[in-house]
Amino acid sequence: MRERFSGDAVCISCGAKSPDISGALTLCSSCVKAGGEVVERCIEDAHGKARSAFGLPALPPRTAGGRTCRICGNACVLGEGERGYCGLRVVEDGKLRHLSGTTRSGIVEYYYDPLPTNCVADWVCAGSRDRGRDNLAVFLGACTFDCLFCQNSQFRMLTACLGPVCTAGQLAEAAGESTACICYFGGDPSPQMPFALRASELALRRRGGKVRICWETNGSMHRGLLRRALNLSLRSGGCVKFDLKAFDRTLHRALCGTSNAHTLENFAYAASRVPERPEPPPLVASTLLVPGYVGAEEVGRIASFIAALDTGIPYSLLAFHPRHAMRDLPVTSRRQAEECLATAREAGLTRVHIGNLHLLG
């Protein structure tokens, strides 16, 4: 429930009033980080409401004696008839069944973007120089997170109807002679990595290695799948773009529904492989600046984490636009973006960038 006083939302925990408090959470960021019973109840309620219409569980299932899925860090434990957090796994007759995202086929829509395109890494990626060619943008219809601020929330419709379906071979054939890059996003590649990896391998073979493979992801996939993705990107001249949504663990669960522990571990692993090909950078980080929740303090913690691994990793700060369950928040202000930029640089990062400038308020 949300109350409004003079245009401000009210935190049900401390009573603070602000336009930067989301009605979906009904909590300010300070109270979220403090944790407690009220916070946990609000987190589960917010994500339960956001997911119920699509038949998805509010939290990753943990059914005693169930079957464990290892595709991502959520490691859902599913009982008979239960559906996984991403919506693509179910247990039937005691066996884990993959509804999509296997090496054979995936739930996907794709289109061609003329280069240079509005990519998170466009300011450091070699693809920005390929004028006259195109990027095969692969929109994957499932996700391992449940971001209340999701900027591409339409992917849930694809999860719900389990389509449209594309085979790995069909997607590989879509990468024609004019295609310089293949970029997987969504949703997220994580729950359909076996499909995306197979399609990429086929496309590279078909094109004689002359196409970049890139990933835009929350980084929650199984480490073995990430290793294969990095191998393909390093070999082809592409990159892996990690969206580091928040550093505080409770805030991350509040905003995204699940833990960020596996994402941070995977990012550290990816950073350890940067020396294999420093340029163009194989690893890029980004953070969406959500008013009231992800500001200079949170960006400072994320930037310090990145800088401790490698100060040269590119970091893009992205402007938020009201979407999905957080349509009641304002857009990112120019002041907030500039404060975050300065904070990231103070943390020691040498390559920091503000993206989506046209969205700043």
How many residues are present in the chain? 361
- Name the residue ranges covered by the structural domains of the chain: 105-359
Two tokens, residue 194: 């076996």
Specify whether the CB–CB gap between 238 and 213 falls below 8 A. yes
Two tokens, residue 123: 């300011």
Pairing of strands 77-78, 165-167: unpaired
State pTM to two decimals. 0.96
The fold of 105-359 is TIM Barrel (3.20.20)
- Report the C-alpha gap between 297 and 355 in whole angstroms: 19
pLDDT by position in tens, the chain (length 361) = 333 333 578 999 999 999 999 999 999 999 999 999 999 999 999 999 999 989 999 999 999 999 999 999 999 999 999 999 999 999 999 999 999 999 999 999 999 999 988 889 999 998 888 989 999 999 999 999 999 999 999 999 999 999 999 999 999 999 999 999 999 999 999 999 999 999 999 999 999 999 999 999 999 999 999 999 999 999 999 999 999 999 999 999 999 999 999 999 999 999 999 999 999 999 999 999 999 999 999 999 999 999 999 999 999 999 999 999 999 999 999 999 999 999 999 999 999 999 988 888 8
Nearest to 316 by CA among 294, 297, 332, 340: 340
Pairing of strands 315-319, 283-289: parallel
Nearest to 319 by CA among 350, 290, 296: 290
Specify whether the CB–CB gap between 9 and 23 falls below 8 A. yes
Query: Alpha-carbon dihedral of residues 322, 160, 111, 153, nearest 10 degrees?
Result: 10
